[in-house]
Amino acid sequence: AQKITQTQPGMFVQEKEAVTLDCTYDTSDQSYGLFWYKQPSSGEMIFLIYQGSYDEQNATEGRYSLNFQKARKSANLVISASQLGDSAMYFCAMREGNTGNQFYFGTGTSLTVIP
Amino acid sequence: DTGVSQDPRHKITKRGQNVTFRCDPISEHNRLYWYRQTLGQGPEFLTYFQNEAQLEKSRLLSDRFSAERPKGSFSTLEIQRTEQGDSAMYLCASSFRGEAQPQHFGDGTRLSIL
What residue in A sits closest to B38 (Cα-Cα)? A107
Identify which of A101, A102, A107 has the shortest CB distance to residue B42: A107
Q: What is the pLDDT of residue B110?
A: 96
Q: What is the pLDDT of residue A22?
A: 98
Q: What is the pLDDT of residue A99?
A: 57
Q: What is the pLDDT of residue A19?
A: 98
CB burial class (10 A; 0-12, 13-18, 19+) of residue A103? buried
SS3 A76: strand
Chain A, chain B: beta-carbon pairs less than 8 Å apart: 59
Residue B43 CB-half CA count within 13 A: 33
| Beta carbons of A45 and B56 less than 8 Å apart | no
Q: What is the mean pLDDT of chain B?
A: 92
Average pLDDT over residues B1-18: 93
What is the number of other CB atoms lying within 10 angstroms of the CB of residue B64?
13
Average pLDDT over residues B105-109: 95
pLDDT in tens, chain A (115 residues): 789 999 999 999 999 999 999 999 999 888 899 999 999 998 889 999 999 999 989 999 999 999 999 999 999 999 999 999 999 999 999 988 655 677 899 999 999 999 9
pLDDT band at B1 (very low <50, low <70, confident <90, very high): low
Pick the closest to residue A6 from A45, A37, A40 (CA basis).
A37
Q: What is the pLDDT of residue A100?
A: 60
What is the number of other CB atoms lying within 10 angstroms of the CB of residue B57?
15
What is the number of other CB atoms lying within 10 angstroms of the CB of residue B101?
17
